[in-house]
Chain A
Amino acid sequence: MNLDFSQIVPYIPFILEGIGATLKFVSVSILAGFILGTILAIFKITGFWPLKVFADVYTSIFRGTPLILQLMIIYLAVPQLTGYDISAFLSAVLAFGLNSAAYVSEIIRAGIMAVDKGQTEAAKALGVPYRAMMLNIILPQAFKNILPALMNEFITLTKESALVSTIGYLDLMRRAQIAGADIYRNFEPLFFAGVIYWVMVTILTLAGRYVERRMRQSD
């Protein structure tokens, strides 16, 4: 068997630097997707139809087309239209953030709908304003229920982040490919990158379980 892991040793620091690059844009994308997704979810449940239509069309577009296509449009096609030379990082954050928002908004919408209607009535009967009711009463209960689904979305995003290697962003995946091309061996660097992805996702999973346990204190 033709395996020689010692060959990648000189490339280990180079590949490891990709962890930072990946984490940087994944965390910004998750945050952006989460905030935007929450706003879209609230649009979807308001009685004001233009907001609802906007959020529904948004979700339909971003869920209905491939993420890699959205990434390419932002990175390659937008400069053609606007003349603005967008960076790989900004393209990646935009594509992943906007895409994730569509999925997150559906998860949060379902979570809000699943909160007992009596909670809304109790808050209304006390004279609680809509905003406070959402922030203090409904969303905390919704988030508790949807945490596993949200974690799943964050994990998917972390793994799918490897797609940015296609636009030349020097993430973990791209660096593994470069190392592979340099030493004419692909198994070792790809395997190494795979282990790192797995470790990152495992840490994310454990963090999610911890938060879940904390939130279940009232049970």
Chain B
Amino acid sequence: MLVIVAKLVARRLLAAVPILLVVSALLFCVLRLLPVDPAAMSLPTTATIAEIEAKRREMGLDRPLPEQYLIWLSDALHGNFGRSIQFGREAGSLVAATLPATIQLAGAAMVLAAIFGLGGGLLLFHLRGTWFEAVTDIVSILLLSIPEFLWGLILLFVFGVALHALPFTGAVSPNLPQPHVTGFLLIDALLVGRLDVFASAFRHLILPALALGLAFSPAIMRVLRSSLFDVYHEDYIQQARLRGLSERQILLGHALKNAALPTLTLAGVQFGILFSGTLLVEVIYSYPGMGNLMVDAVRNADLPLIEAIGLTYCVAVLLINTVVDSLYVVLNPKLRVR
């Protein structure tokens, strides 16, 4: 099985190369076609029109678009995404500094989405045929219609403002230091032996992760329930009943495993969307991740930074899809045969 998975990962990574090239070209062209002037944005307010023109030439903005792209691509392949207009630092180093926080947030959110999604799906399935079914159905649709930023605001005002129960700004309390080892704050706090920092970072992670998790769990919930409905119409479920297995054994031993496949596919897609959903949530919770940085970049027409972050999101989604596909192979024996 390991060989099959390894082959799949290799194939996926090879396929990622042209995808990345297309995405990078699209990203580059779209940004260059926008009516913003990075030359003017990179100069102070006292610059004259002549100085802006000189800057445009210096930045290569007067060259043909394909030439500009090839220069940028060549630099990007060497790890050089250019210097951020707003921050004056290497765009790549800014992404590297903020990416761990976003991964940590997205990971925590996905865990919560999986818990709520699986738990809710099983509950919905369990309540089938009862008068609760209609109610839970409406509730799940209602939850499905609430986007992550709205969850963010709701949770912030309920748990942050009204109840004063959880913090909602930053990644750790103002009176605590932020250790830097791997960039992942929870891990770093443990590595330096600061349990107080770990506890604080954990508390700061709860609300943003919950906002994202709650926004993405209803889809998982509903797909799991539908899959379970389908699976329960299969012959092997009836045969399991005839063999005298309890409903619990049937659910956990047979139905859930098969119903998990479409759910896993959906979760993979959702995780990609969830990763980009961190953007607004990070702004609302002042979480120092890549989404927060992206908002700055867009606001300031910081093209090098937008390109670096955009490509990073693309790579992240491709990696997530590769992991999901690998899991799919692990869970589905039919795919292993092929």
Q: Do A and B come from one complex?
A: no
Interface residues, chain B, CB within 8 Å of chain A? none
